[in-house]
Amino acid sequence: MPHADSAFVPQGLDKTQFWQHVFDQLTALLDGQRSWVTNLANASSLIYNSLLAYPAHFGDGERMVNWAGFYLHSSLFPSPKISTQGRTSGPGAGEILLLGPFCGKPACQFINVTPGKSRGVCADAFMQRKTLLVTDVDAYPGHIACDGETKSEIVCPLVLRREDGDVAVGVLDLDCLALAGFTEEDRAGLEKIAQLIVEACDW
Ligand code: SME
């Protein structure tokens, strides 16, 4: 099967079946590859395009999902000096998540996750290691508006389970043009996908 066909979505699926379908397609796409860059690139494309191919819930005009992608802890990136608007990462600059593979319009380059200085849904999900389902982004204190058209959002942390303790490596972020675009079913489906991604990559 051509790789692009993995984003085809059969008709008649309910939400739970839809996310199981995406999970199965992603499992196949990740097979034989441990690079997080490669795997997150395919994961963001698969999630975004599968959502758009599921018009009953996500791909229909005003209800459209408009962004799906990742922010990753800067320690995962090769360069020791990463621009954060005048500062660089490392001592004194605090901790940041950097924009990773995504589908959608351009987004902010980084998100501050320094304790006491952090702001936004991605930072909160990362620091709390908890999925955040935001029904109205304008009502969320500190929300970072990368796209003024976004109305709701869901962010799942990527948490690596290790013998010496859990480590958050980044977040999976989805935005929607509709208020309350995401539900508990989406939370369940995306958390399974986030765990699949974490386990499929070398970090
Ligand atoms: N809204 C996010 C920022 C990332 S964009 O949505 C792609 C936040 O508040 O952290």
pLDDT of residue 99: 96
Which residues of the chain, if any, have pLDDT below 50?
89-92
CB 134 within 8 A of CB 125: no
Count CB neighbours of 115 within 10 A. 9
Query: Quick check: CB of 65 below 6 Å from ligand 1?
Result: no
Q: How many domains does the chain have?
A: 1
How close is the Cα of 164 to the center of ligand 1, in Å? 30
Query: Whose CA is closest to 73, among 29, 19, 30, 36?
Result: 36
Query: Whose CA is closest to 201, among 166, 147, 159?
Result: 159
pTM above 0.85, yes or no: yes
58: containing domain = 3-200
Contact partners, residue 106, CB within 8 Å, separation at least 6 = 146
Query: Quick check: CB of 175 below 6 Å from ligand 1?
Result: yes
What span, in angstroms and rounded, lies between the C-alpha atoms of 73 and 166?
Answer: 14
pLDDT tens figures, 129-168: 999 999 999 999 999 999 999 999 999 999 999 899 999 9
Query: Quick check: CB of 100 below 6 Å from ligand 1?
Result: no
Q: What is the CA radius of gyration of the chain?
A: 16
HEC readout, 135-182: CCHHHCCCCCCCCCCCCEEEEEEEEECCCCCCEEEEEEEEEECCCCCC
What span, in angstroms and rounded, lies between the C-alpha atoms of 129 and 117?
Answer: 17
Crossing angle of helices 184-200 and 36-52, rounded to 10°: 160
CATH number of the CATH domain containing 32: 3.30.450.40
pLDDT of residue 78: 80
What span, in angstroms and rounded, lies between the C-alpha atoms of 10 and 18?
Answer: 9
